Amino acid sequence: MRRSLSGIQPSGKLHIGNYYGAIRQYIALQEECDAFYFIADYHALTTVTDPEEMEANCHEAAAGLIALGLSPERATLFRQSDVPEVTELTWLLSVVTPVGLMERCHAYKDKVAQGMVASMGLFGYPILMAADILIYDSNVVPVGQDQKQHLEVTRDIAGSFNHQYDSEVFVLPDAHILPDVAVVPGLDGRKMSKSYGNVIEIFGDAKQTEKKIKRMKTDSTPVEEPKDPDTCNVFALFRLMAPEGEREEMARRYREGGVGYGDVKKRIAELFFENFGEARERKAELDNNPDELREIYAEGARKARAKAREVLDRARDAMGINRPL
């Protein structure tokens, strides 16, 4: 069976942009692959410096994934830092990785341009990402089109290692390009993003969530006037949540006129709780029972470490550092 690998950074509360943009596609892969999911706390150290915030964010990410449909019976969930083998492999990969390859990675340049500290952790981020992928013999890695370079870098590093040591230590992973999805609009009409402060949190307070939806930015087109569903941010959010028949009917009403933005927002709020109500209940259960999450983590780490040790030993053998003197 193919093995898929997905990681999520513990950078805060999950919002519907996270879900419709990536998480639902990641979780779908557990039905057709041996799926490994990790909470990327090593990666998050480049941005999260408060230990209590890190701990809380890791819980939010893991509990959120499970609540949204990740099944510990069908998939393996673990924290990146619970598999220390990945940091050793990162060093082994770094000795075969040209500096020029790292310098061509656009993510580093983009983040420094946004004001992030130009640390070695940030610069070497793609090597740790390559280790994350390669150490589990992952051959299916779901990414968006804008993240395709990360997979290309991983394949380059793995290929360089295999060639230098005349071995087939690493499986070269294939990118599973996620299907194009509409940009999830935020409350202000821009792309939904924590950095803009315009998100709708999946597990936020119910009353506050409803208020946020009702405050979504709209234009001043009167109720009776026709509206274009293809350019309306409110309709774009409605389209993501509503069933097909309801989407078509609402689009017709938009074009004919007679529907107000307030009515659409009200329906979005209803659809939000219809779509995420069960997940919100499951998340509350996990919040009240942290031992269950710890058990899932422990079992996931056990399975992940067993595979990681196997791959790391192959790399050490190939390099001559795993042999008895």
Domains: count for the chain:
2
How is residue 36 annotated by DSSP?
Answer: E
Query: Is position 312 within any domain?
Result: yes
Asked if residues 224 and 258 have their Cβ atoms less than 8 Å apart, the reply is yes
Asked if 146 and 217 sit in the same domain, the reply is no
Asked if residues 41 and 86 have their Cβ atoms less than 8 Å apart, the reply is no
Predicted local confidence at residue 205, as pLDDT: 96
Asked if 131 and 243 sit in the same domain, the reply is no
Asked if 113 and 217 sit in the same domain, the reply is no
Q: Is 170 exposed, middle or buried (0-12, 13-18, 19+ CB in 10 A)?
A: buried
Query: Is position 195 within any domain?
Result: no
Predicted local confidence at residue 124, as pLDDT: 85
Cα–Cα distance measured from residue 243 to residue 197, given in angstroms and rounded to the nearest whole number: 28
Query: Is position 194 within any domain?
Result: no
CATH of the domain at 299: 3.40.50.620
Query: Is position 80 within any domain?
Result: yes
Cα–Cα distance measured from residue 31 to residue 91, given in angstroms and rounded to the nearest whole number: 33
Predicted local confidence at residue 201, as pLDDT: 97
CATH of the domain at 232: 1.10.240.10
Query: Is position 248 within any domain?
Result: yes
Asked if residues 138 and 4 have their Cβ atoms less than 8 Å apart, the reply is yes
Residues involved in catalysis: 111, 191, 194
Place of tokens 């119910």: 206
Query: Is position 197 within any domain?
Result: no
Asked if 131 and 280 sit in the same domain, the reply is no
Asked if 228 and 269 sit in the same domain, the reply is yes
Asked if 109 and 232 sit in the same domain, the reply is no
Range of the domain at 313: 3-183+290-319
Predicted local confidence at residue 113, as pLDDT: 74
Predicted local confidence at residue 323, as pLDDT: 65
Asked if 58 and 174 sit in the same domain, the reply is yes
Asked if 39 and 167 sit in the same domain, the reply is yes
Query: Is position 166 within any domain?
Result: yes
Asked if 164 and 92 sit in the same domain, the reply is yes
Asked if 98 and 176 sit in the same domain, the reply is yes
pLDDT per residue as tens, the chain (325 positions): 799 999 999 988 999 999 998 899 889 999 999 999 999 999 999 889 999 999 999 999 999 999 999 999 999 999 999 999 999 999 999 999 998 888 887 777 777 777 777 778 778 889 999 999 999 999 999 877 667 888 899 999 999 999 999 999 999 998 887 765 557 899 998 989 888 899 999 999 999 999 999 999 999 999 999 999 999 999 999 999 999 999 999 999 999 999 999 999 999 999 999 999 999 999 999 999 999 999 999 999 999 999 999 999 999 999 999 766 6
* Cβ-Cβ contacts under 8 Å for 259 (sequence gap 6 or more): 223, 227, 250, 253
DSSP secondary structure letters along 202-251? TTS-HHHHHHHHHT-------TTS---TTT-HHHHHHHHHS-HHHHHHHH
Predicted local confidence at residue 324, as pLDDT: 66
Predicted local confidence at residue 30, as pLDDT: 93
Query: Is position 39 within any domain?
Result: yes
Asked if 81 and 37 sit in the same domain, the reply is yes
pTM (2 decimals)? Answer: 0.90
Predicted local confidence at residue 13, as pLDDT: 92
Asked if 32 and 64 sit in the same domain, the reply is yes
